[in-house]
Chain A
């Protein structure tokens, strides 16, 4: 299958005072698929998505989105082009209602069409299972629900590329199951870049995996290929089996 790359990086590098957090990363995100970015702590995953989303400026290298070089665009412009981003540390509007949180996310595109906006917001809340809590203040939600709310805010933007930075961190097993189901239901609808620690989530959802280690791409491939890759086993899986 000839996959079309919706997002690409070439030679993406970030150097923090001599430390190469990311070094010459060439990466392709295949349209309509779920790509997981994995790697041990400190591998440079967050730095990488920071540069992709525009939160962090690269030392050198380029990011292109839908064939267009977006390396010099600020983060909000990249989001306007069709990216959505969920933070590693939950980031919502704590003092606003659940409904208003989603409404603001959907409202960037739909603010001028009240009916469409209300419809979109209701539909997203329904899909993610937060309809009953729509009127609650977001900060009063449980941690798990707050994380789900943030994912809802991503979905409400109808993103071309949805970047999720460790979305299952701190979720209970049953919440993780719900998350996996949700990711599968998004297959084909949107392209997903998933930064994930939880190997069960990765193996159940990812179509494609890229492994980062010490700021560099160690391997890329289908889950099977990654599973058989000796270097990955040594650097990453090996450490978990020792534990």
Chain B
């Protein structure tokens, strides 16, 4: 737990030392890291590879954005709606998709996410489809604080990140978290120890979906934009890459993965238009030489105490 607090202290300190551009970047990174942590819970801990997590991110985002725009909800109830929408979607998807495993699970989740994307386009009258819509500045203040300012945004992102980060760290230490790892390691053995694997997997998916939904709602709240592009396949692949890069099944891996990928693209795009090529090569090299991700490999090689 001290290590987790130390990470949060570093993130707090960065606000005071980083130039404005990077403060903005880190606000975004922390929000995306929440998404990555949600994904990690299912992929890294439970061993279920979903290719459709963008639907939960989008459910949180639209649950927040639409209730603000259409019904004039204030921030707190709209945010809560976003989380509930994501959790409810995860319940339905999980109930059906968890009948499958492995590649079939990947395809079924991919299809569900595609359906969500098409539903968003279909109801373009309300969602404005691909174009998306803006959440007005006036609607983005909470308890009298305007969350559109750079400072307010950074601290809102940090607080929400901290809550999710500590909650996930606690969760994976609890018996529930250990049982998820047991399913990842050997589902049949877990079942034959008397654990209800089907139920545990469903609970993992609901929590994972809800955390992803928190990230989506936070994104809408802090950056003021809600659009269908966040529910595309690309946004389902991103969390997988972040988690793989950072280290699946580690608590700080998702954050590290997002930072790495963000700056890899950010810096390489400053030198060449072919920045995706550089990103691709870096990904291939990491997968070859650090298959456990940055944190996972460091933990195995040198620092077994890494969380």
Contact = CB atoms under 8 A, between A and B. Distances in A.
Contact of B196 (A76, A103, A112): A76
A154 to B, nearest CB: 9
B192 A91 contact: yes
Contact of B178 (A76, A91, A104, A157): A104
Contact of A93 (B186, B194, B197): B186
Given A94-B185, A94-B186, A95-B185, A100 B178 contact: yes
A75 B191 contact: yes
Contact of B185 (A85, A96, A103): A96
A87 B195 contact: no
Contact of B181 (A96, A105, A111): A96
User: Which of B185, B188, B193, B195 has the most chain A CB atoms closer than 10 A to its own CB?
Assistant: B193
B182 A108 contact: no
Contact of B192 (A85, A94, A103, A112): A85
A53 interface: yes
A135 B189 CA distance: 20
Interface in A77-104: 77, 79-80, 85, 87, 91-96, 100, 103-104
A107 interface: yes
A107 B194 contact: no
Interface residue SS majority, chain B: helix
User: Which of A75, A76, A87, A92 has the most chain B CB atoms closer than 10 A to its own CB?
Assistant: A76
A153 interface: yes
A200 interface: no
A105 B190 CA distance: 8
A95 B191 CA distance: 17
A80 B194 contact: yes
A55 interface: yes
A92 B195 contact: no
Interface residues of B, number: 17
B220 to A, nearest CB: 38
Interface string A5-36: 00000000000000000000000000000000
Contact of A76 (B175, B185, B194): B194
Given A93-B182, A94-B185, A104-B182, A157 B194 contact: yes
B193 A104 contact: yes
A75 B191 CA distance: 7
A57 to B, nearest CB: 14
A79 B185 contact: no
Nearest to B193: A105
Interface of A: 53, 55, 75-77, 79-80, 85, 87, 91-96, 100, 103-105, 107-108, 111-112, 153, 157
17 contacts: A53-B192, A76-B191, A76-B192, A79-B193, A87-B189, A92-B186, A92-B189, A93-B181, A93-B189, A94-B185, A94-B186, A96-B185, A100-B178, A104-B179, A107-B179, A108-B193, A157-B194
Given A76-B192, A104-B178, 19 more contacts: A53-B192, A75-B191, A76-B191, A76-B197, A77-B194, A79-B191, A79-B192, A79-B194, A80-B194, A91-B188, A91-B192, A96-B181, A96-B182, A104-B182, A104-B193, A107-B178, A108-B193, A153-B193, A157-B194
